[in-house]
Amino acid sequence: MALLSKLSNKRLQGSLYEQKARAYLETQGLKFIAANQTFKCGELDLVMADGDTVVFVEVRQRKSNRFGSAVESIDYRKQQKWLNAANMWLFTKRKQSLDTAKCRFDVVAFEGDNPPLWLPNFLG
């Protein structure tokens, strides 16, 4: 039962930081499209628009950088899942692909009590 509670708390915490990231990006002029898009190959935290560019946003949070920073936690495997999920989203929603769509991959990282760190074009 404790494991279930811990997972539930992690989901709530993730949802809270995704909402914070969305609000922050909206203050920067981006427009919300979708959240928590899940596919067999991976998940997209946020899908936003920056003008005519689709922006796939990964939200990361760490209380401290004792085990590495939030940004450092985005390893090669995670990047591949992110790319695959974005490709699936583009195909199912827009009938496009990463090769044909105007898109980019951003990160919004939260560490401790610091303000959000926005890294546009993280996979650029």
- Which secondary-structure segment (H or E) carries 15? helix 2-27
Whose structure tokens read 């074009």? 121
CATH assignment of 1-119, among 3.40.50.720, 3.40.1350.10, 3.30.70.260, 3.40.50.300: 3.40.1350.10
- Give the pLDDT band of residue 92 (cuts 50, 70, 90): very high
Give the residue-averaged pLDDT of 79-102: 98
Q: Provide the residue ranges of all domains of the chain, joining segments of one domain with +.
A: 1-119
Segment 12-67, tens digit of pLDDT: 887 899 999 999 999 999 999 999 999 999 999 999 999 999 999 999 998 766 66
Q: Could you tell me if 106 and 56 are in contact, meaning their C-beta atoms sit under 8 angstroms apart?
A: yes
* CB contact at 8 A, 108 and 117: yes
